[in-house]
A = this chain, B = another copy of it.
């Protein structure tokens, strides 16, 4: 597309720089923005620079936060003895939305991936040892993805955690609730049979 305006071209270029946004969609979004008040456009723009300038890493768990300590770590009603290890803030939000987990998190900021040049020192791992040395943590839950990289990271952390007197668990894998067995992959189905549980537990939820 050959725009009759450099201003539009730059706005479309920037919008299309977002992943999954093509140039036609970008133009549609930019024209929609143009229809708004100047104040609204300014607020739209400011949100992203304000985020970039103001966002911090929580000094305890490593999650994105407005303050030095994030609201989850700062919440004294939460159970500081249980720490769930996740890859990023999206996993935190996903678990939080279940309202079933009352412990704290440790956000790695990724997983070990030699192909992408991501080693243990690139992740928020050192501060995990510091947390465990504090002695308050009694259980660490692995909630990393079941990819090669996720499994590698879990195993690396498992070895790191071993010296501490801490229980290590992993979230349950199995057939999703509502899914039909015939559509499940063999690996998940096999695991759900091998890791079967007493029926009373399954209906009791615990």
Residues of A within 8 A of B (CB): 1-8, 10-11, 13-15, 17-21, 25, 27-34, 36, 38, 41-55, 63-66, 70-72, 88-90, 92-93, 96-97
Interface of A is mostly: helix
Q: Is the CB of A92 within 8 A of B4?
A: yes
List chain B residues, Cβ under 8 A from A38. 52-53
Number of this chain's copies in the assembly equals 2
- Kindly identify which residue among B4, B36, B45, B63 contacts A71, using a CB–CB cutoff of 8 Å: B4
* A29, B19: Cβ atoms closer than 8 Å: yes
Smallest CB separation, A145 vs chain B (Å): 16
Determine if B14 and A65 form an interchain contact, defined as CB atoms under 8 angstroms apart: no
> Could you tell me the distance between the alpha carbons of A76 and B166 in the complex, rounded to whole angstroms?
79
Residues of B with C-beta under 8 A to A88: 31
Q: How far is the CB of A97 from chain B (nearest CB, A)?
A: 6
